[in-house]
Structure 1
Amino acid sequence: MPFSGKTKPSVVGYLLHQGLLAQFDTMVSAALLVVLCTLPSLAHAACLSTQRAPEMDRACRDFDNSLHEVGSKWRVHCMDCTCSASGIHCCDVLPTSISFPDDCKEVYDEANCKRYAVRKDDPSIKCRITGGIGK
């Protein structure tokens, strides 16, 4: 039914009349969901999850084939992991990158889960880190 009267309908009124507001609302909700889902990945260095195998009643099998009880927490390859009823969830404990002066190079110390920078010409001298992304 067309609009009648002396005033023009609002955009919302027109969309309601055409049945398009529900579609528009769904598109906006979907776009907002995508944006919100990307925020945790920007705030955290990196995380990953895997589903628990159905035959594993009270445990999760780790990436290195170790078993962990549901509710347990552990660290492997500089990632903090948890085993839940749904599976394994692990997040990096290190920043994904660091910034340092050009005369320095990055060193990755997996044994201590640290990244740092040393002078290229003398690796015994540590450099000042000027920034980092991630944890």
Structure 2
Amino acid sequence: MASLHVFVCLLGLVVLCHSHCFFQKLAIKDLNNTPTGCVDEDGKEHDFGSEWVRNCMQCSCTMEGMSCCSRIPSANTVDIPEECELDVNMEACSFKVVLKSDKTKECNPL
């Protein structure tokens, strides 16, 4: 069972290494009126401890700030053979590496 936990952690690290992430520190403008959560790009407030997905970005809010990582790697972060390309489905927040000549056939990243 321990090896399963190690595998899941390593898999998560691989995804994070190939994802675009950012951290936005919580800004406290008024000490008498401290924030109760994080505010996203749309101006929507998310409670501390909450998690959400927006535009294929997995985000979370802590008392330190908001952290978001793309669920889709960028083409320059994945080693893709020259005959292949990254096929992204933003609606499903998924991707696959396919042959440029036949997008129905998947190929393996290097």
Report TM bin, short chain.
Answer: 0.5 to 0.7
Query: Is it true that 1:48 corresponds to 2:60 in the alignment?
Result: no
Preserved contact between residue 106 and residue 116 of structure 1 (Cα < 8 Å): yes
Using CA pairs under 8 Å that are at least 6 residues apart, name the structure with larger relative contact order, 1 or 2: 2
Cα deviations by residue, 1:68-104 (Å, 9 ceiling, x for unpaired): 00110001111111111011001121222352562x5
Q: 2:46: which partner in 1?
A: 68
Q: Is the alpha carbon distance of 1:64 and 1:84 closer, same or farther for their aligned partners in structure 2, counting shifts above 3 Å? A: same
Which amino acid in the other structure matches residue 67 of structure 1? Answer: E
Query: Is it true that 1:130 corresponds to 2:108 in the alignment?
Result: yes
Inter-partner Cα distance in structure 1 for 2:17 and 2:57:
16
TM-score, scaled to structure 1: 0.53
Preserved contact between residue 18 and residue 74 of structure 2 (Cα < 8 Å): no
Which amino acid in the other structure matches residue 70 of structure 1? Answer: F
Instruction: Give how far 1:48 is off.
Output: 0.4
What CA RMSD, in Å, does the superposition of the two structures yield over aligned residues? Answer: 2.8
TM-score, scaled to structure 2: 0.63
* Aligned positions of 1:20-99 closer than 5 A: 43-55=17-29, 56-97=34-75, 98=78, 99=80
Inter-partner Cα distance in structure 2 for 1:66 and 1:107:
30
Query: Is it true that 1:110 corresponds to 2:99 in the alignment?
Result: no
Matched-pair identity in %: 27
Preserved contact between residue 101 and residue 127 of structure 1 (Cα < 8 Å): no
Count of paired positions: 89
